[in-house]
Chain A
Amino acid sequence: MIPISLNTWLIPQLHIPDGFLSLAVSLFFWLIAIIFIAIAARKVQQDFDDRRTPLMGILAAFIFAAQMLNFPIAGGTSGHLLGGALAAILLGPWAAILVMAAVIGAQALLFQDGGFLAMGANIFNMGILTALIGFGLYRGALRGAKRFKLIIAAIAAWLSVMAGALSTSLQLWLSGTASLQVVMPAMLGVHAFIGVGEALITVGALAFIFKTRPDLLSAGEVRGRGGRGWIAAGGIITLLTVLLAPLASANPDGLERVAEKLGFINAGRGAPYQIFPDYTIPLLGETPLSTILAGAIGALAAGVIVVLAMRLLRQRPDQSLSAGDQ
């Protein structure tokens, strides 16, 4: 793991460190991440009864270890795995989100791969988006032959990396840390390449499991992990990625103008110290004090939301567990 992050220093990975995202963007994605994790914790608890904790932990360790596996592509570079799509296909979307959140959290805590305040965004890019695309597309291909499923899995794996890269560039741009014209083509270009490794390993792993434990990937099993809603969700995100990526890389100025028109470009684009940049406390006018107060209020509100969400999440998980003892 350390060697991997050392080898790939110069490749913009998807683990965004702190400092590159504005506070507004950071908090927004934290909120999304918390909501998803809260739902995931509940769902997973229903599906896996009391085996879930050790199992989820070990599967998170699996993703971690699988990210170390690599293979030579060409000229000294090597392909390796992000794992979001694979996890979603193997475990179902909710369990995958939980597992990826644990992986991303540990990477930040142990290796500083990705920041703390940026963790919400990282979980969104590498856990939630990948789970939506990975599972959504695979779930849609359930009826097909094995070969077809594998092809879809390959596409899903590649796209999940592209979606992560797209979303990372947008976040950086919204935070005012990078110009879209630079970050978008760079991110998408590099990850189009990285995605090939992702696709090959994902398919290799699935092919292996098809051969050795076909029961784990049987139609019934996969259906049990999520309903048809996922197909739609995955489809929409896929469509967005497919449309937005070429559009934005071909004409980032255009996107920038559109965003400016819609007004949200200023939302994050101002300095990261402003939580609601254009919002100042009316009575105080545009003074530094007003900015501080606005910031404090915003932070407080975000804090309250976080605490509430945590509460919500904490209440259920540990009841009704002992039922499944045998």
Chain B
Amino acid sequence: MQSFERYQTGNSFLHRLAPRVKVVMTALFILSALLIPDGAWTAFLLSLMMLLVLIRIAAAPIGMAFKRSLVILPFTLTAFSVLFVTPGAPLIVLHPGPWTLTMTDAGVIRFASILARSLLAVKIAILLTATTPFPDLLHAFRHLHLPRTLVSILAFMYRYLFVLGDEATRLMRARQARSARLPGRSGGANLMWRGKVAGGMAGQLFLRSLERGERVHQAMLARGYRGHIYTLNPHVVTRRDWLFAAAGVFLLLLIQLIARFPLL
């Protein structure tokens, strides 16, 4: 559960950038990736290079991002279908059973473009997570004027994610420890029962969470909470941040132009 924080301890240029700048630039990068038209390979390639340079600066292992970008895999499977339904010149014709599937050139371009956009987006998001501790992200959201309530909810959630996550893990371990079988017997009871037990565990977790909410509220009252949450502001946006943002926006605009006027 803690492994996702492994690269946040670095101290590269990217790690030190003001979190809100990183958040905005990440969003712009994803937006830019979505805006690159199908088949604008130069633009995709430039975006990828930009990404690789950033990963290099962050000194994050390139392979690290790979495993987690697999989260897009299931959706890639569903996107396979565009290979066959996009109108265009037929490339390959398949005959699986009674069907006829025609893979078109436009389909291939479309599929590859979807994949490219998605990989770019997920990798930049991984980079953001890898170079910015979550508490700093929360500060960034506050500065970006996200509703304070929502940011506070996220902060509490982050704190108790681990507490409750561990609790859930321990519950499951306890169940595992008693999931015994005798030699020569099937065991495991039935599906309904197993589901009900898992549900009981969820109910248990819920009640404990409620009570914990009560206790935390008491702890906050004890330290002067009266409805507002104040925090110090540990981050200032410096000239370096502005320069980085300006350079980033410029590059992204350039990529968009190149994507649309290939001759330029």
Determine direct contact between A and B, CB below 8 Å.
Answer: yes
CA distance in complex: A106, B164 (Å): 15
**In A75-112, which residues have CB < 8 Å from any B CB?**
79-81, 86, 90, 98-99, 101-103, 105-106, 108-112
Interchain CB contact under 8 A, A201 and B202: yes
Let me know if B88 is at the binding interface, CB within 8 A. no
| CB neighbours of B79 from chain A (8 A) | 20, 172, 177-178
CA distance in complex: A13, B4 (Å): 21
Interchain CB contact under 8 A, A273 and B195: no
Closest chain B residue, CB of each to CB of A53: B152
Which of B51-59, B220-228, B234-242 lies at the interface with chain A? B220-228
Q: Which of A10, A19, A56 contacts B74 (CB 8 A)?
A: A10
Interchain CB contact under 8 A, B153 and A271: no
Interchain CB contact under 8 A, B78 and A183: yes
CA distance in complex: A186, B225 (Å): 50
The tally of CB-CB contacts under 8 A between chains A and B is: 337
Contact with B along A100-126 (1 / 0, CB 8 A): 011101101111110111000000000
Chain A CB within 10 A, most for which of B69, B84, B213: B213
Closest chain A residue, CB of each to CB of B201: A69
**Residues A61 and B157 in contact in the complex (CB < 8 Å), given A17-B72, A66-B202, A200-B198:** yes
Chain B CB within 10 A, most for which of A56, A72, A208, A291: A208
| CB neighbours of B198 from chain A (8 A) | 69-71, 79-80, 200-201, 204
Closest chain A residue, CB of each to CB of B221: A325
CA distance in complex: A130, B163 (Å): 26
Contact with A along B12-43 (1 / 0, CB 8 A): 00000000000000110011011111100000
| CB neighbours of B94 from chain A (8 A) | none
Interchain CB contact under 8 A, A179 and B81: yes
Interchain CB contact under 8 A, B164 and A9: no
Interchain CB contact under 8 A, B196 and A69: no
| CB neighbours of B165 from chain A (8 A) | 1, 61, 64-65, 68
Interchain CB contact under 8 A, A204 and B199: yes
Let me know if A280 is at the binding interface, CB within 8 A. no
Let me know if B119 is at the binding interface, CB within 8 A. yes
| CB neighbours of B154 from chain A (8 A) | 57, 60, 102, 105-106
Q: Interface residue tally of chain A, by bracket?
A: 35 or more
CA distance in complex: A207, B161 (Å): 24
Closest chain A residue, CB of each to CB of B229: A53
Let me know if A16 is at the binding interface, CB within 8 A. yes
Interchain CB contact under 8 A, A11 and B1: no
| CB neighbours of A204 from chain B (8 A) | 195-203
Let me know if A2 is at the binding interface, CB within 8 A. yes
Interchain CB contact under 8 A, B156 and A179: no
**Residues A53 and B122 in contact in the complex (CB < 8 Å), given A90-B206, A325-B226:** no
**Residues A209 and B195 in contact in the complex (CB < 8 Å), given A18-B118, A53-B229, A58-B212:** no
Let me know if A229 is at the binding interface, CB within 8 A. no
Residue count of chain B within 8 Å CB distance of chain A: 103
Let me know if B80 is at the binding interface, CB within 8 A. yes
**Residues A318 and B159 in contact in the complex (CB < 8 Å), given A18-B34, A18-B125, A69-B201:** no
Let me know if B46 is at the binding interface, CB within 8 A. no
**In A144-165, which residues have CB < 8 Å from any B CB?**
none
Closest chain A residue, CB of each to CB of B167: A65
**Residues A117 and B117 in contact in the complex (CB < 8 Å), given A55-B213, A69-B172, A310-B146:** no
**In A307-326, which residues have CB < 8 Å from any B CB?**
310, 313-314, 317-318, 321-325
Let me know if B71 is at the binding interface, CB within 8 A. yes
| CB neighbours of B137 from chain A (8 A) | 109
Let me know if B121 is at the binding interface, CB within 8 A. yes
Query: What distance in Å separates the Cβ of B127 from its nearest Cβ neighbour in chain A?
Result: 10
Contact with B along A206-241 (1 / 0, CB 8 A): 111100110010000000000000000000000000
Closest chain A residue, CB of each to CB of B67: A6
Closest chain B residue, CB of each to CB of A212: B207
Interchain CB contact under 8 A, B122 and A324: no
| CB neighbours of B71 from chain A (8 A) | 5, 9, 15, 17, 111-113
Query: What distance in Å separates the Cβ of A171 from its nearest Cβ neighbour in chain B?
Result: 11
Query: What distance in Å separates the Cβ of B8 from its nearest Cβ neighbour in chain A?
Result: 11
| Interface of A toward B, CB cutoff 8 Å | 1-2, 5, 9-13, 15-20, 22-23, 26, 37-38, 41, 45, 50-62, 64-66, 68-74, 79-81, 86, 90, 98-99, 101-103, 105-106, 108-113, 115-117, 172, 176-179, 181-183, 186-187, 197, 199-209, 212-213, 216, 271-273, 288-289, 291-292, 295, 299, 310, 313-314, 317-318, 321-325
Known: A57-B158, A64-B164, A172-B79. 10 other contacts (CB 8 A): A20-B114, A55-B213, A59-B210, A60-B153, A66-B206, A70-B198, A102-B150, A111-B71, A204-B203, A272-B117
Task: List 7 A-B pairs, Cβ < 8 Å.
Answer: A1-B165, A50-B217, A66-B202, A70-B198, A116-B26, A273-B34, A273-B35
Cβ-closest 9 pairs across A and B: A204-B199, A57-B156, A200-B195, A19-B118, A208-B203, A321-B227, A18-B121, A182-B81, A61-B160
| Interface of B toward A, CB cutoff 8 Å | 1, 3-4, 26-27, 30-31, 33-38, 68-75, 77-82, 84-85, 110, 114-122, 125-126, 129, 134, 137, 145-150, 152-161, 163-165, 167-169, 171-172, 188, 191-192, 194-207, 209-210, 212-214, 216-217, 220-221, 225-229, 256, 259-261
